[in-house]
Copies of this chain bind each other. A is one copy, B any other.
Amino acid sequence: MKKISDSTISRLSTYYRTLSNLIDQGIETVSSDEIAEINNITSAQVRKDLSFFGSFGKRGLGYNTKALREEIAKILGLKKEWNIALVGVGNIGRALIDYEEFRKQGFIIKALFDKDRKKIGKEIKGLRINDIDDACYVTKEKNIEIAIIAVPAKNAQAVVDSLVACGIRAFLNFAPITIKVPSNVTVKNENMSIELEALSYYLTQSN
């Protein structure tokens, strides 16, 4: 399959959310122009993004909201639940356990890991905190497919290395560091300081 850009994929996610909202409002049909307007982009962009995957609209009419959301769900792989491991039960980690948005989209945290002896064995929301050294056993048992890395920067690479060795191929990394992985493994970064620093830059510019 042809290579689709990261931007297209992340815009599909926003279309998915837009469609969900429209469906909640009882709206059955929507044009690329309306989807674009809601998301501050152009209608050509919306149509082009969708065109990589098929023809989902009707000329003159637009798109059926439910049908289009269904198509995007298929594209993004949201028709199944994904089993997630959360590594690092600190502030960020604990917030993510309670993050409704993940569960709503079918991302279910099924395993917790930490390396702090004081935490291991305890439970949060019915989930036992496991020793990261037991990662391979637990991830296999629980069928984990994606790991969220919420450990300090200095430990992040080692944690990912060992999970890659267990066969995990997708990571959401909250540590402020670039993680190295083999080419068949995907890492997405969630680096909150970077965005704040961009704001700092723009504010500094405009003064």
Contact = CB atoms under 8 A, between A and B. Distances in A.
Interface string A44-66: 00000000000000000000000
A198 B13 CA distance: 8
A202 B91 contact: no
B40 A200 contact: no
Interface in A163-207: 169-172, 176-178, 180, 184, 186, 188-206
Interface of A: 1, 6, 9-10, 12-14, 16-17, 38-40, 75-78, 82, 84, 91-92, 94-96, 98-99, 101-102, 105, 107, 145-146, 169-172, 176-178, 180, 184, 186, 188-206
Given A99-B92, A203-B77, A196 B146 contact: yes
15 contacts: A1-B205, A10-B195, A14-B194, A16-B197, A39-B178, A76-B197, A76-B200, A91-B95, A102-B193, A105-B196, A171-B199, A172-B192, A186-B199, A188-B195, A188-B196
